[in-house]
Amino acid sequence: MVSSQRGLVAGDPLRRLSRRAPGAHRGLIGRERRLRFEALDIEGPILITPKKFGDERGFFSETHNAGEWERAGLHHKFVQDAHSLSRDVGTIRGMHFQRPPFAQDKLVRVSRGRILDVAVDLRRSSEHFGRHVAVELSAENWRQLFIPAGFAHGFATLEPDTEVLYKFTNFYSPAHDAGVLWNDPDIGIEWTVDAARAILSAKDVKWPRLRDLSEAFP
């Protein structure tokens, strides 16, 4: 499942991605790609699907390849990895971001279980300010979501014992930690989780609404 406030993603992924990075896709044409890149309805977030090579033993997959990213016009250096375990269905982590100069690009994937992964556009200059994209990531579909700086990120677990892996382009800085309320009606995320049973940290239930957010990006 891939959705936004305006519906499903459509269009040729490389053609649409090329609008963000003109000419960047040319190196991918005519060769086997280990990573598939798909632009979404909101400029910035990118859906990535690594190829699996399987046999009777199992499978092998390159989950990240800097060369493939470069050829797709994505020039990002990841400096920190993280790993989370959420034991219960309905666990919500978010919506998080870091303020400059510690703003982070993120790459998110699931090694076990299933999540609804969400990115909210906080760029005030963007025509999509306040809109979001929502993508189902799972160990089965093997997809990843790249979330650039300028977006708040969060997810809801759809299966028990779900494990999520993250890559960041900047280090965690508690002094620059910020967020926006997960169930802000002005954002309107359809979490597919019963709000009365949602499991959140004490910190995440206190983030401000978008209209009260002072840390939005230019």
Sorted by where each begins, the domain ranges of the chain are: 2-212
- Residue 22's pLDDT band (cuts 50, 70, 90): very low
**Residues 75, 83, 132, 166: which is the catalytic one?**
166
pLDDT, the chain, mean? 88
pTM for the whole structure = 0.84
Q: What is the CB-side half-sphere exposure of residue 44 using CA atoms within 13 A?
A: 24
CATH fold, domain 2-212, is Jelly Rolls (2.60.120)
**Residues 25, 96, 132, 153: which is the catalytic one?**
96
Told to judge if 166 belongs to the known catalytic residues of this protein, a careful annotator would answer yes
The pLDDT value recorded for residue 218 is 82
Residue 11 pLDDT > 70, yes or no? no
**What is the rounded average pLDDT of the residues 132-155?**
98
- Residue 145's pLDDT band (cuts 50, 70, 90): very high
Other beta carbons within 10 Å of 33: 17
